[in-house]
Structure 1
Amino acid sequence: MHQLTSTELKSIISPPSLESLISTILFVCLLFPFTTEAGLYTASDQVVVLTPDNVDSVLVNSTAALVVEFYASWCGHCIAFSPVWKSLASDIKEWKPAVDLAAIDCANQDNGPVCSRFGVRGYPTLKVLQLLHSTSFMDFQGLRHKIIDKMETHAEPWPPACPPLETTRAELKTNSVGHLALLFETSNSYVGRELTLDLLQYENIAVRRVLSTEDGLVAELNVTHFPSCYLYYPSGIFTRQLEVRTFYTYALQRLPGVVRAGKPLPVTSDLAKNTTEDQLRPFNRSRVYMSDLESTLHYSLRVELAAHPVIKGEALSTLQRYISVLAKYFPGRPVVNNLLKSVDMWLKGEKDTELSYSSLRDALDNTVPNAALPEGVRWVGCQGSKPHFRRYPCGMWTLFHVLTVQAEEAADPQEVLQAMRSYIHSFFGCRACATHFENMAQESMSHVGTLSSAVLWLWSHHNHVNNRLAGALSEDPHFPKIQWPSPELCPSCHGVKNGEHTWNQAELLTFLRSHFSSEHLLSDYLEEEAHSNPRADKVQICRSAPEQAVNPLFLGRH
């Protein structure tokens, strides 16, 4: 594809008619990871927000494909379509840098010249797709397939950033990559092309499409079902049959040696040594550890809150709600629960409009007999392969998952969620994280009306964050951010409908209630019960090995 100038871009876009607006494909690239927020989309939606300041740098000198939505934030149909556009952006996140989605709010007067420049007169208009009529919108599966169609029928040379999507016709004699996946499918299937784009960012894996009409390869591998995916090795063949794109993608991305481009291969010896003060602890990835929960409490109450010498106003109310929820629902050891209840009663009795952190620290460290909070952290299920991975953010997510499950007999279904929201807003040290979470909360937390939906809301939005951060510098290569729970961990949580992956909400709720239940918590790596005088002899987290553990290379969630 040749380099496009601004003049050439304007010339290939013809103004659409009122009766039928057929958009022209735009092959463009993302030169910068813009995070501007405007109109119907925010920085957490994985949609590039176009403005007069960035439009030229995004659209000129392209090497890949960008699909742009031109919309008006006052338009009811645009509002109705925005969840589809967000879902599509999340769904094809792995297609970068070959394909990315953008949007521009034409209702913003500053953006008016840009929308006029591209001949937009009705909303929403998608450049690369035809105008979506006001009474019928394509679902994101249809949009996804349309993008692939446009890429394949583009008249100019193949975009440099896009992988080959053609089918394989020759017999396979050699395999020069770590893993070669053969996707056998019918001619009208999109699974092979979608899978190729899903794995675009990964090394040591290649996908080749093979049509069902290729009798030689079909006979050689004895393929009887379509689609079917075969891992082709000189020493043998592995097959996963009758599965949808999501299952294939999940399985292939997690093959040994398959990593994101530019990321180092996980090395077992590095895990054993670990650059932290301790070796990586063996743990069971299918369980939750009390050590992680107590470590989270220690860091939250003794480290994070200590950054606020004086707590007053809304922040003080937030602290009171946070401690109250912990006192009610934390499924801890008696010594820890006694401490939380003691601090809760003390806070409720305080009449001052502001609180010094030093007085809170005194309450945490010396309250009543048989009440103490362990000092220090000992991460187990939330440990990372390096000191800067996982740990406290993982622990905070886990803590609130546990609390939402423990609160399933509460009077207010939003009690835990709102406590979490206000704590993150007022105190969570990662301010960008706090902004992203607040954006999610503003969109839909108010719709939570039952205790079960509170559990599912936190689960779905945690997965939303995992999707957004997959591949980021903060992702631990030993614990990739996945859509959790995995098919291996909860097979019944996953289903297929109309060829697309679906979540079985009833099975998922059952799984979450069990996984985060107090009965399911492991006490490995914890010391014996607390001493009677917590100030003189504080509770510590011990270094004992767990009774049952599994290979630490098993994938984690956070």
Structure 2
Amino acid sequence: MICLLFIYASLLSPAYGLVDGLYSSEEDVVVLNNETFPITILNTKPDNKVWAVQFYNSWCGHCKHFAPTWKAMATEFKDLNDIIGFAAIDCSQKSNLQICRQFDISMYPTLKIFPPIYNSTRSNSCVELHSQSPPLIMKKIFQVLADFPTQSWPNIKPLQKIEDIWLEKKDAHKHILLIFENEDSNLGPEVMLDVRKFQNVLLRRMLQNDVSKFGISKFPSLYQVNKDSTYTFLAVGDSNSEDTTDSRRFFVKVIHSLTGDLMNVPTIDVKKDSHILNGDITNEQKVQHKLNSTKVTMQDLESALHYSLRQEVAIMKTIEGERLTALREYIHILVKYFPGRKPVLGFLRHVYNMLSNLDKTSLTGEEWLEKIDQAQDADNYLPSVILWESCQGSSPHYRGYPCGMWTLFHVLTVESYLQHQRARPNDPGNPQEVLLAIKGYMKYFFGCHECSNNFLAMAETIPNEVTSWKEEVLWLWSAHNKANKRLHKDVSEDPEHPKIQFPPESLCPVCQKLSQSDQGVTLSWDSEKVLEFLLNFYSEQSIIFSIHLMSGDEDSISTVPSNQGELDWWEKKQKKEDLKQIWQIKEQRKLRKKESKRSVEDTYNSRVRYTGSPGFLSSWGLTQLDLSVCIIFYLFSTMIILFLYHHFIARRRLISCKPTKNSP
């Protein structure tokens, strides 16, 4: 089995990991990975920049929505890249799992701000953002800049008293300026950072509540402080817009006209490409082949299981309480209802037994990975491969894992229905069992925060709407169609696979019927026909097995596309990652053998200590067998010596004492 896994890992060497994810090195967002993250973010110098880092997942629709905003912010503030950096790391890549787990990333996108000197022991050293509004993000970044000042940065904290500005004045400062703004404005810090290289300017800011007594009535406004402590009005900005770009540009232009500094005028990108502002993404090269997406394949189901267990669950920093209960229930319904191959079902049973007999109340993500690896053997395993067939999208950012999980959920509800119809028709059981387990998984493990919230909102109706196994199947079908309707024409929709109401007429001509209403004749779903279709479409008998799965030969997969740029982000597994997991299993077996041998040796040594003679054997490197041979050889040699002594010495004495004929 290990040999097969090794060959399989070699064939799939390019098929895991993501080349660019949602960001590329050609853009203003810095793309991080497990190697560059510590160097760039954690091991920094005191005069380094503040980093705003987005932890995202390539398949997450909400992350795709937010990507244009993050790119636009990085572009808008690229002239401040010596002070503020925008970065992103893809948590869907297995190689980045440890970093994402370290910072307890469970929902995407998650935004964190790292100060110039990151210190994991200080609670305020890493700030998590709970908003994706650009003004609020920048406000939080400016707060971190103010809380962790360095000598090379402008002091962006607001003044409490106007006279305090003279404490900072230096001989080089020819122009003393003040920006008066309200508490929610980011204009002051932005302009202060823009003109930080103007050597002859001292610019500070004050908030509206602190200057009302001085008769300042227009905000935001720019004033010059004269040597006689009088003030000269210079400019006023737009107070009716959250977008400070125009006011920022105007204030910088006014300050430039005062100083005449032509060398340090910043470039403020006011206009962005329309496709970025509108959240559109560029058209990518379409995949040359197009798989049949109207079939359920075992390869898709196993790929979804692999990513679910080895990435989504494993990325959790701690699994305890309700999260641990949800994981146990999720594995339980997989054991009961997943119509998988024998090795996969055996693996799932081992994992469920492990969770049921767990001798502690929590697991770390790393411990979870170790335990499910230990649950594998030659006959029970989950293939370490991500290969999408029916769920393959037209480009790496479409379909894949979300499609695989929806398919898996449908298969589980259908199998639950069929099992109770065949074997337990009179068993009331709990027809909500599968849906509640799915709800628990979506709540605690599914990485897309927006997707999870939408599903949980729909799941509120489960207690009232699901009272039978039939309703369980139909509820999930209806929920999936609601999600498709919501995401139709969304940025996350695959243009080659539009999100339609399922099943379409081409698959089930009788699933819709004409209905008469006050609004005329309309089409509506025939629930009985839909149920009949779902029971057939997602049944075990309808699942397509790839040739390599039918033969049990996982290493025979050879359908990896030749263009590596088109590979799915879960498919691009690096060879070293596969080999690492394979060798971990081998090392675990070696360790168990060593421990067993050590146990035998310890037992023997304890007996030797009891007899009081461990020193001689251990010091000369002798075993008990060696000692026995030595004793036998010693006895045998002694017998030979005694025989020779008797033959030559003792016999000669007897002869010398014998009387001769001439003796008297």
Question: TM-score range with shorter-chain normalisation?
Answer: 0.3 to 0.5
TM-score, structure 1 length as denominator?
0.46
**Higher RCO (Cα < 8 Å, 6 or more apart):** 2
TM-score, structure 2 length as denominator?
0.39
